Structure 1
Amino acid sequence: MKKRSTSLPLLRPLVLACCLAGASGAHAATPAAKPAASSAQPKLVVVLVVDGLPDEQVLRYRDQFGQGGLRRLMDQGAWYSNAHQAHGVTVTAVGHSAVLTGAYPYQHGIIGNNWIDPVTKQSIYCTEDHNYHYIGAPTRSDDGTSPARLHVSTVGDELRYATGNRAKVVAVSGKDRGAILLAGKTGTAYMYMESTGDFASSTYYMQSHPAWVQRYDAGKPQDRYYGKSWTPLLADAAYAGDAPDSLTPSKPGQRNTFPFAYYSESGELDGSYYKRLKSGPFLDELTLDFARAAIEGEQLGANPAGVPDLLAVSLSAHDYVNHAFGPESKMSHDHLQRVDRMLANFFNYLDKRVGLDNVLVVLTADHGFPNVPEFAQGQHLDAQRLDGDKLIAALNQHLQAKYGQDKLVNAWSLPNVHLDYALIDKSGLRRAEVEDTAARFIEAQAGVAEVYTRTQFEHGAVAGTRIATLMRRAWNREASGDLMVVTKPYWYFGTGTTGTSHGSPYAYDTNVPLMIMGKRWIKPGYYGQYAEVVDLAPTLANLLHVRPPAAAEGRVLTEALR
């Protein structure tokens, strides 16, 4: 296992406080814990991923949580507040891949939500697979239907292998990538269909839905929200510390303040209404509702074979809310409070259905979030959006002036930039020289901190800083570009004048909650030492008595095990 650097990148004040409070230097291995008796295995492992949840929001709003949701996890479980998605491209697909593989992108192969195929130079989506289609719903060419591009196994795959496929592994999400990348190669994924509001699987997993799914979808629970509005859950005083709505400019036709109504322009239950549901808490309510149906339909936690089952649930809406309004907004604040109450209800359900003493619960996130640039500027920070198209156009112009060749950059999906090596070779140029020329030009542009080249990565000539380590983990030799660009802190790749986005190697994007609760297996407490999301996979494998996933590089969190 590679030794990890734990030097911290630039942090916002709140994150710096929580990270340094329990920093313990090297991410060192601890003595192996004695495995529990097989009879003490959990009947059900529940893995919860809150899409786009920075740990600093958990810290900031913790006093307003109820007793049964996030507070239950913090009080009755192990809470690692200095946990990180420890790779350099912190986006949904990469983060979800890390949770149950324990691997980094250089091995698991998922380098982004979308990336450029190095051969065809066409954009591809992380879970698209034209060999399969959704069941009972229209399928576009770039919809996610299979885990073909995930190159390694997950905890669920290893659990099914160890039990002769008797263990059941089910993943549910509002996003296809959220479900598919948690389900692994041999589990079953169900995802929200924005065209119909149903949850559906694809023909990669089955040819038709089981009866319980058909019954659930026939009930049309998504239609109960038509005409309803998302309004604040708490009293006005609870939101006093949030950014004013005036700092969250809205796109044309989009509100930037409560209430948010759910309807369609046609006045009918149609695709525009079902798509609108994704922008607020009702999507997460539906996701957990379907998860309950899966528990009952598949008898999860009561497996007739007497083996553990695994349920993964990815709650997608927090990501959409943070993109639109920022983690400092009243909308994001309220949404997290609603997620907290939803989790409390879900845990109560698990207790009645399976018994929480028989359930191991994990909660984490796929990435964090930076503030909206306009808010960050109000904190006297250098924060802006970096227009990638303009950056690449200027780069090509610079390379043409130096080498006399047009469009030596022939594709890009930032942070990845692809050079036309065929043209470089044909022109008698040296690849490494062109890479270096391009890198130095990009580094001189406003908002750019670092640029790494293919030659540097392949030859190991990358400085041993934490950011360099995270970017090297994010670079996949076969799929990534020839240059990787890192923005300065608080900058991000984007255009327009609204919202914010993630994807950097900085702490506001990497620092996420990591909580594990299970009375028989976990020692409750606040754990300030450094941890990584990739540590979850070997820890779960240890508790389930199965081999770790093939490419897992995390450590077993032995200090939290009974």
Structure 2
Amino acid sequence: MTFTLSRLSLGAFLLAASFSASAALPAQPKLVVVLVVDGLPNEQVQRYREQFSAGGFNRLLRQGASYSNAHQAHGVTVTAVGHAAILTGAYPYQHGVIGNNWIDPATRKPVYCTEDTAYTYLGEDTKPADGTSPSKLKVGTLGDEMRYASGNRAKVIAVSGKDRGAILLAGKSGTAYMYMEKSGNFASSSYYMAAHPEWVQHYQQAKGQDRYYGKSWTPLLADSAYAQDADDALYAGIEGVGQRFRFTHYSETGSIDADYYTRLKTTPVLDELTLAFARAAIEGENLGRNSAGVADLLAVSLSAHDYINHAFGPESKMSHDHLQRLDRMLAGFFDYLDQRVGAGNVLVVLTADHGFPNTPEFAKAAHLDAGRIDGDKLAAVLDAHLTATHGVAKLVAATSLPNIHLDYALAAKAGLRRDELEHSAARFLLGQAGVAEVFTRTEFEAGLPATRLATLMQRAWNRQLSGDLMLVTKPYWHFSGGKSLTSHGSPYAYDTNVPLLLMGPQWIRPGSQASYAEVVDIAPTLAHLLRLRPPAASEGRVLTEALR
């Protein structure tokens, strides 16, 4: 009897404590805002922070929790993969988005990460490979959990300068709006709705994107502020180096057309337009004032920094100035949120989908081994080597670097074992300029050793979709498929280390965090604060050290 009474007493105590803890919980946010700055290495945030305004990045750094050692912790650091990780909390081997583009192993045809010919853009031209739905995303997102738990009363809106930036944040049940480079509009697709709501129609009719024609992008700060940036002479004569300051918004035809709207993408204007549309979405959908009393989600992916870093390099004056301008835009956006929704009602997260390496020219000037790898040439010399070695032509079936697909069926007909073909190809590739490592399908299926590099590449490899070989460049080398000065995609810190900033006075403890964190930690942390189950494939942890 004494034991029973003790258990009853303990139970009553725990029940009372539970009610007390529940009463002490802060109110849930009315609006969660997830900001993604495409192509922003954490290094740039730290390097330029003394020049930022008080209300933009510095507001996040001083009033929020900031992680200096946060990473996109997978080995293929490109836009689609990084965006898919943010609100799924999952790595590519589960979420299925293994690149911006990849090869369909069955058809050997190229695949774009958000293409879906079953749907079209609303009121806009649509090509077969345009991004129109999240059908390639194999798992759910935080927004999907919010919608499910609220009986679809929670509103989930994503806006981006890139279709993949919006679609992969919106998840399966949210709504995505993306910049249309032919018209300068933001539009959705028939996956989400049959027609745009009235507020979108009014926004498009205003044609705010046209007001920049003939105007110029000039440096925001005094010349002395850019003294440490790379000299333009470093890139003299290099193909792909575009117009720099003074950068005028124009078109070749001399009139406002698709050429003009496309050129806007490589300037701060794209981010201005994205944030302006985000404000229109807040008001049009009444975000943060949900009559059902549940939290809404607004995800905004700001794409211009990625375009600018590709075109000019992250060490350039253009990249530096854009980040200063974006900082002022964010300050204005935060002020707007304070006035519209209330500072105590909004939870803000800012991160990036990937970082960025310096241009090879800049790295070489610092006496580093650096360069570009031509993927088409690499595939051709590999195929020629395999033909000469094994007497079988076209053993390289398809290539979308870092993935290479081999023709196992053709090899088998010639009596060549799968592992023999992989080993032969890998050994040859390791002798090519700029190649650091080659992982094979056989190695992935057996399980790689628990090194940092192997772990990142294993997470990036999807058994059903990825290639039979996966290449890793040497540091400061990158695969080059176009005219951009530099590109990302590696497992090295300059590509993986991104900002991770959380702000919301009721939920987040301000301060700098030195502990290791990953972008996949965002979804479970937000799910915890919203009292939701985390997305099904989430592997991140709750960032308890940053919470009140």
Match of 1:446 in 2: 433
Query: What amino acid is aligned across from residue 234 of structure 1 in structure 2?
Result: L
Distance 1:557 1:302 in 2: 27
Q: Contact (CA 8 Å) 2:35, 2:301: kept in 1 or not? A: yes
**Structure 2 CA distance for partners of 1:385 and 1:468, relative to 1, 3 Å:** same
**Structure 2 CA distance for partners of 1:276 and 1:256, relative to 1, 3 Å:** closer
Match of 2:33 in 1: 46
Counterparts in 2 of 1:467-546, with a 5 A limit?
A: 467-494=453-480, 499-546=485-532
Distance 1:220 1:250 in 2: 38
Counterparts in 2 of 1:154-193, with a 5 A limit?
A: 154-193=141-180
Distance 1:39 1:308 in 2: 14
Tell me how far 1:51 sits from its aligned partner.
0.2
Match of 1:394 in 2: 381
Query: What amino acid is aligned across from residue 127 of structure 1 in structure 2?
Result: T
Match of 2:5 in 1: none
- Any idea what the Cα deviations from partners look like across 1:445-469, whole Å, max 9, x if unmatched? 1111100000111111x22210110
Question: What is the TM-score of this pair, normalised by structure 1?
Answer: 0.92
Query: Which of 419, 442, 448 pairs up with 1:432?
Result: 419
Match of 1:465 in 2: 451
SS at 1:508 equivalent = helix
SS at 1:312 equivalent = strand
Tell me how far 1:55 sits from its aligned partner.
0.2
Q: Contact (CA 8 Å) 2:240, 2:311: kept in 1 or not? A: no
Larger Rg, first or second structure (1 or 2): 2
- Are 1:334 and 2:318 counterparts? no
Distance 2:83 2:166 in 1: 9
Query: What amino acid is aligned across from residue 63 of structure 1 in structure 2?
Result: E
**Structure 2 CA distance for partners of 1:215 and 1:419, relative to 1, 3 Å:** same
SS at 2:436 equivalent = strand
Query: Which of 193, 217, 220 pairs up with 2:207?
Result: 220
Question: What is the TM-score of this pair, normalised by structure 2?
Answer: 0.95
Moved more, 424-433 or 234-243: 424-433
Distance 2:93 2:344 in 1: 37
Counterparts in 2 of 1:95-110, with a 5 A limit?
A: 95-110=82-97
**Structure 2 CA distance for partners of 1:444 and 1:254, relative to 1, 3 Å:** closer
**Structure 2 CA distance for partners of 1:151 and 1:37, relative to 1, 3 Å:** farther
Structure 1 residue ranges without an equivalent (≥5): 1-33
Q: Contact (CA 8 Å) 2:241, 2:311: kept in 1 or not? A: no
Distance 1:436 1:110 in 2: 27
Distance 1:473 1:438 in 2: 22
Match of 2:221 in 1: 234
SS at 1:512 equivalent = coil
Match of 1:152 in 2: 139
Query: What amino acid is aligned across from residue 269 of structure 1 in structure 2?
Result: I
Query: Which of 302, 322, 338 pairs up with 2:309?
Result: 322
Q: Contact (CA 8 Å) 2:75, 2:491: kept in 1 or not? A: yes
Moved more, 38-47 or 253-262: 253-262
Distance 2:240 2:361 in 1: 20
Distance 2:143 2:459 in 1: 23
* Structure 1 vs Structure 2 CA RMSD: 1.3
Tell me how far 1:115 sits from its aligned partner.
0.2
Distance 2:177 2:484 in 1: 32
Distance 2:371 2:477 in 1: 5
- Any idea what the Cα deviations from partners look like across 1:133-169, whole Å, max 9, x if unmatched? 0001000111100000000000000010000000000
Q: Contact (CA 8 Å) 1:35, 1:542: kept in 2 or not? A: no
Q: Which 4+ runs in 1 deviate beyond 6 A?
A: 250-253
Distance 2:504 2:22 in 1: 15
SS at 2:69 equivalent = strand
Distance 1:279 1:35 in 2: 49
Distance 2:539 2:212 in 1: 43
